[in-house]
Amino acid sequence: MKEYFFLLSSVTSAMKSEGILQKNGYKAYVFRDSSMNPYGCGYVVKASGDKENMAALLKKNGIRINEIKEGR
C-alpha cells in the first residue's frame, strides 16, 4: 500500500487530519519536518491508502491540503 505525505499549514489541521483518517480505517500519524513542509508549521500527516479517497475525506471535513507528496 502506498504512503502519502499530506502537507498542511497548522498543527491543528494535522492533528484533526490524523484523527479523521484513523477513524476511517487508515494508518496515519503526524510528525514535524520543516524541510519537507514549507507551509507554515512544518507538520506532516503520513498515511497509507488510496490518495484520492483520503484527500476527499479530509476536504469533506474542512481540511485544506497544501500539497500531497508520494512516499514509497
| Number of domains present in the structure of the chain | 1
Q: What is the CATH number of the domain that holds 25?
A: 3.30.70
Minimal CA–CA distance to 46: which of 70, 24, 23, 66?
70
Mean pLDDT of 17-41: 90
Residue numbers of the domain that contains 37: 3-70
Q: Can you give the pLDDT at residue 41? A: 77
Q: What's the mean pLDDT when you consider all of the chain?
A: 93
Q: Is the pLDDT of residue 17 over 90?
A: yes
41 and 71 in contact (C-beta within 8 Å)? no
pTM of the model: 0.91
Between 25 and 1, residue with greater pLDDT: 25
Q: Is the CB of residue 64 less than 8 Å from the CB of residue 12?
A: no
The helix (H) or strand (E) run that includes residue 28 is strand 27-32
Q: Is the pLDDT of residue 44 over 80?
A: yes
Residue type, 59: K
